[in-house]
Amino acid sequence: MNKSRLAVLLVALLAAALAVTACGKKTPPKEALQKAWAASMEMKSFTFDGSLAIDELELPPSAQNEAVLPYLDMIENTSLSIRGAYTRDPLKLEAILKLTIPGDLAVSFEVPLIWANDKVYAKIPAIPMLPLGDAAGKFVEIDPAGLAEGEGAALPAFNVEVQRKLAGEALGIVFSHLDEEHFFREVKKEDVPGLPGDLKADRFIKFSIAQDNFDAFMQAFAENIMPEIIDLLLASEDYRSELQLTEEELKRAKEELAAKDPESLRNELEALKQNLTVHEISVTSAIKGDKLVYQKLKGNLETTENGETTKIGFSFDIRYDNINKDVKFEHEIPEDALTMEELLQSLFSAFAS
């Protein structure tokens, strides 16, 4: 084989090796999750379906009595689910909450909520043995701006787009100050319990806080994350308005943080750890392509006060479907919604009769 043919062969082999290496290179978990969050903030439409469960609830002996115990069992077995749809243009968010309470007097009802046209529409459920009069089964229109003017107090408007943008930027700040080795890892599908059987995903990334990295998280939170989030809020009037925070409050909070030296922060952390044990706070995210298609939040906390312990465990999971596709809403924006005055009049009449 002559030298020119050998050179061509070596170049071809090198190119093939580089191509294989490039194709096999996988985005690190933290970066993959950051990109998925960013891409999901740009979704133009989607449907969602989620549920909340109380996995464990243990109160201290002093809080347990014959009057409380039945309610503890009821709370642990109560289920709350949420489903709905979102479109950016025209802007509309529908969320239908379903509460199911078991027991001898089992009850289940849904509360549809619609955000559109800078207003909120809530459907009054028909609940047995609860006198709601003519309001039962009807939507009530809530105008946050109008209520604020009438009552002389601010009321959160819950601007969907502002909330989504704020969440994306705040998470970007959080991620930037937490290292991959201690907080982010890739997990296998079989290691994520409770996944929907038909869920299709390319990767599963888990972000977690527990006792072994709690100190590092709190230090990053106090020294970097919180000051930068305050700066983010100070730079945006929309964000401040959405959270009902003033510049003065934020500046005062920032000054108080800056005034604390490392020693005082460590002392506060140690005091917190004496009363709080974080067994787990985690979010496992399923990524398909470049977008989030499922998330599972788990929490398992233990607090101690006056020598008595309270334990709580909870989980919340949500999946996203029909991303950037045409979505169907279960309810149209009601044209015959009650005003707040009409709702109060109906309730007053029902209770008075």
In this predicted model, what pLDDT tens digit does every residue of 254-307 receive, in sequence order?
998 888 887 888 888 888 888 999 999 999 999 999 999 999 999 999 999 888
User: The domain containing residue 229 runs over which residues?
Assistant: 28-352
Label residue 147 by pLDDT band (50, 70, 90).
Answer: low
Average the pLDDT over each of 129-143, 235-249, 283-297 and give the range with the smallest value: 129-143
Label residue 16 by pLDDT band (50, 70, 90).
Answer: very low
Tokens matching residue 153: 């107090």
Q: What is the pLDDT of residue 269?
A: 83
Q: Following CA atoms 257, 263, 264, 265 in sequence, which dihedral angle do they give, to the nearest 10 degrees? A: 60
Q: What is the pLDDT of residue 25?
A: 64
pTM over 0.95: no
Residue 4 has pLDDT above 50, yes or no: no
Whether 252 maps to a domain, the answer reads yes
Whether 142 maps to a domain, the answer reads yes
Whether 275 maps to a domain, the answer reads yes
Label residue 7 by pLDDT band (50, 70, 90).
Answer: very low
Average the pLDDT over each of 27-41, 70-84, 88-102, 111-125 and give the range with the smallest value: 70-84
Whether 16 maps to a domain, the answer reads no
Label residue 152 by pLDDT band (50, 70, 90).
Answer: very low
Whether 5 maps to a domain, the answer reads no
Helix (H), strand (E) at residue 8? helix 3-24
pLDDT averaged over the chain?
A: 85
Question: What letter does residue 332 receive in the DSSP assignment?
Answer: P
Of 105, 78, 88, the residue nearest 40 (C-alpha): 88
pLDDT digits (tens, 9 = 90+) for 95-105: 999 999 887 77
Label residue 156 by pLDDT band (50, 70, 90).
Answer: low
Whether 10 maps to a domain, the answer reads no
Q: How many other C-beta atoms can be found within 10 angstroms of the C-beta atom of residue 142? A: 19
Q: Cβ(36)–Cβ(285) under 8 Å?
A: yes
Whether 146 maps to a domain, the answer reads yes
| Cα 79 from Cα 88, distance rounded (Å) | 30
pLDDT digits (tens, 9 = 90+) for 200-218: 999 999 999 999 999 999 9
Q: What's the structural domain count of the chain?
A: 1
Of 293, 232, 284, the residue nearest 29 (C-alpha): 284
Q: What percent of the chain has pLDDT over 90?
A: 55
Label residue 353 by pLDDT band (50, 70, 90).
Answer: low
159-184 mean pLDDT: 91
Q: Cβ(111)–Cβ(135) under 8 Å?
A: no
DSSP characters for 230-282?
HHHHHT-HHHHHHHT--HHHHHHHHHHHHH--HHHHHHHHHHHHHHEEEEEEE
Q: Cβ(114)–Cβ(335) under 8 Å?
A: no
Whether 187 maps to a domain, the answer reads yes
Q: How many other C-beta atoms can be found within 10 angstroms of the C-beta atom of residue 185? A: 14
**CATH at 254:** 2.50.20.20
Within 8 A by CB and 6+ apart from 176, the residues are none
